[in-house]
Copies of this chain bind each other. A is one copy, B any other.
Amino acid sequence: MRRLAWPLRKDDTHKSRNGPNFFPLLHGGFVICSIQILFLISMRDQRTNIFWILRSYPSTIHLEGGFRCRCFELPYLQIPDEALPYCTKMKDEVILLDYWSSSYAMRVKIALAEKGVDYECLEENLPDKSPLLLQSNPIHRTVPTLVHNGKPICESLIIVSYIDEVWHDKFPLLPSDPHQKSQALFWADYIDKKIYSVARRILWGKGEDQKMANKELIEGLIKLEGELGNKRYFGGESVSFVDVALVPITCWFYTMETCGNFSIEAECPKLVSWAKRCVDERESIAKTLPHPQKLYDYYTDLLRRLDPK
């Protein structure tokens, strides 16, 4: 049995490859090709009580051969193995709304690469954001935003969790044990609050607050170094959720050190070794992280343009 998502929508009819009267019954990437198969699935699926659902959603859909059938909405449906050959595998449509220097967006790119998910990467023009971004992420209007089969997911850590859950067969990022998972989520949240937001103050802050942020960054990194301990990665022997959460900010270390006139390596040598190991050993990370010098040049150029004196 496969547990698959069910993104059935009334306006999907025009997308059918089999003519306007065929409604593509989508099961998270599968198209159910005939009403017979639909009923085979329905009858087998006693747990979700599908006939009750069939009766309770009264919109009507048109099927191949002039059949009519009541439309229903159901987040999940069990497809029995014997029905799978009759279901056509559809390609997932995955779009990432990106900006190359965003460490938040890099998290998503690393996760997608580790999962082997093909996706379209659309670079945003931040002063003039795309209609797709404004429509998919109306609340924050930020990158990264992922659009999976037309559905938007926002906020980088939530996106990485989503990717881990949807493409769970390959390269798990979060542990399945609830306590271990809570620990990984705790450290990822810590990284957001005590590293990423502090990095922002180092790069764009001023005066006393900027100096204080330098100190807070080192304090935060020292705590993370303690959590890393003697492990190769935060996940132990392999890259995990916490590694994916933290590693993208490390390509900004050079810029932060140069601005703040301090050395992260002197304070946190083990953490810097870990960051190098991530880049050396994981192609997903090496290919995603821009060169530190490129980020530094971009940053100084931006500063000059914002404050031309």
Which residues of A come within 8 Å of B, CB atoms?
Answer: 5, 75-76, 139, 148, 151, 153-155, 158-159, 161-162, 165-166, 175-182, 185-186, 189-190, 223
Contacts and interface: CB of A to CB of B under 8 A. Distances in A.
Given A139-B186, A159-B182, 15 more contacts: A5-B177, A5-B179, A75-B175, A75-B180, A76-B177, A148-B179, A153-B186, A154-B186, A155-B185, A155-B186, A155-B189, A158-B182, A162-B182, A165-B178, A165-B181
Contacts of A182: 153, 158-159, 161-162
Contacts of A179: 5, 148, 151, 153, 162
**Binding site secondary structure of chain A:** helix
Contacts of A153: 179, 182, 186
A75 B185 contact: no
Contacts of A148: 179
A269 B76 CA distance: 35
B5 A190 contact: no
Contacts of A158: 182, 185-186, 189
